[in-house]
Amino acid sequence: MRYIVYTLLAVGLAFGLLQVAELDPDNYVKIYLAGYAIEMNVIGFIVASLLFVSVLYVLLRLLRSIISAPGRFGKWRKRRKIIIADNDLGSGYLSLIKGDWRVAEKRLTAHADSSPIPYVSYLAAAQAAQEQGKLAERDDYLSRAYKAAPKETLAIGLTKARLHQVAGQWNMARATLEDIQSLGKNNPQYTAMLMQVHQHSENWQDAKTLLPNARKQGALSAQALNDIEDQVLAASLDEAIDMDAAWKALPRAQRKKNAVITRYSTFLIEQDRSDEAEKILKAAMKTNWDDRYLELFSRLKTKAAGKTRRTAEGWLIAQPENPYANLAAGRQGMLEGDNELAKKYLHAAISVGQLPDAYRWLGELFENLEERNKALQLFKSGLLAKDAKSLAQTKVALNGPKASS
């Protein structure tokens, strides 16, 4: 199109030049303006007219630039703010990854309002604030995120619930998830987080109701969902009026579930029926090695502690550095009265696993031997190990198993 315009202009210019060339130089133009008469030849008039039009064009362009300058400056300033906000978001996230919470919070919020996605900055800032223990600021950033992007309620709600979980505010996490139920019911991450809330509160009936949907969505790995199903079955034993009858009523396949075996064996131990629990645990270990069984085995108080200890030593042949097998052998040796064997195995359990029960029982052993300083030190170490174990379990529960692909 522009080539056509250029061609027409060239033709017009050539035609004009031809016309000017044919003009008689003696011809003149006389202009009357405000009582004055101006005379000039035709060539001079044409040149003057062209100069006038050119100057007028330049003046109009200049005037237009002056008028539009504030608007163009505003657009430039806005673009610059967006660039700065994007840079702050990137550097803020990098600081968040590095664990530099204070710097991350500062950078993420400095120009968040200028960002095209301010809610992302505020959500990240909420995490940075929580890591510093600033829960009021965390809640403020979450509120700003909602105001900045009301259509992103699901994403913001999931982040809020996750932060509540990490902070140990499980009731608040539940309330947040309930608020976004209509939006999140078909979201795998929502389902996984809701399942974690049910697990933490041991609300097994709701967990049971949620299981089919969790399997359909692939919210958690198949193994994780199987474990939850086992816990639901184990909870059904707790709810039974007669646990022995409930155990016998379970199908054989369900009686082989780890959580079910663990719960029923715990019940037997608490009822001073360790010999019955021993039979169940030994049978279970033949088909499925599980450290939970070994931990329960360490708590047995059978009529023949020596025999029970030798059973644990047999498992140590297969896994000599298993802390729970050492714990079981050490505790049974202690009950048997063989202090040297007990020391050996309990020391091993501490060395390879830092098990809180190993510290406690070894401390009791030294206390019985009237070596109170050693006992006190072991009790203190056991409390520290217990706190560390509790923290690790909390992190595992919050991170959750990876979703199945």
- CA neighbor of 120 nearest in space, from 129, 132, 131, 112: 112
Distance between CA 405 and CA 396 in Å, rounded?
20
Quick: pLDDT tens for 365-376.
989 888 989 889
- CA neighbor of 194 nearest in space, from 285, 203, 323: 203
**Phi and psi, residue 29, nearest 5°:** -120, 135
Q: In Å, what is the CA distance from 59 to each residue of 49, 64, 67?
A: 15, 9, 12
In this prediction, residue 62 carries a pLDDT of 79
In this prediction, residue 403 carries a pLDDT of 38
Burial of 130 (0-12, 13-18, 19+ CB in 10 A): buried
In this prediction, residue 117 carries a pLDDT of 86
Please list, in sequence order, all residues whose beta carbon lies within 8 angstroms of the beta carbon of residue 370, skipping any fewer than 6 positions away.
none
In this prediction, residue 103 carries a pLDDT of 92
In this prediction, residue 22 carries a pLDDT of 56
**Phi and psi, residue 300, nearest 5°:** -65, 145
In this prediction, residue 29 carries a pLDDT of 60
Structure tokens at 209: 């109701």
Model-wide pTM > 0.85:
no
Residues of the chain with pLDDT under 50: 391, 393-405
User: Do 159 and 126 meet the contact criterion of CB atoms below 8 Å apart?
Assistant: yes
Identify the CATH homologous superfamily for domain 311-405: Tetratricopeptide repeat domain (1.25.40.10)
Distance between CA 265 and CA 261 in Å, rounded?
6
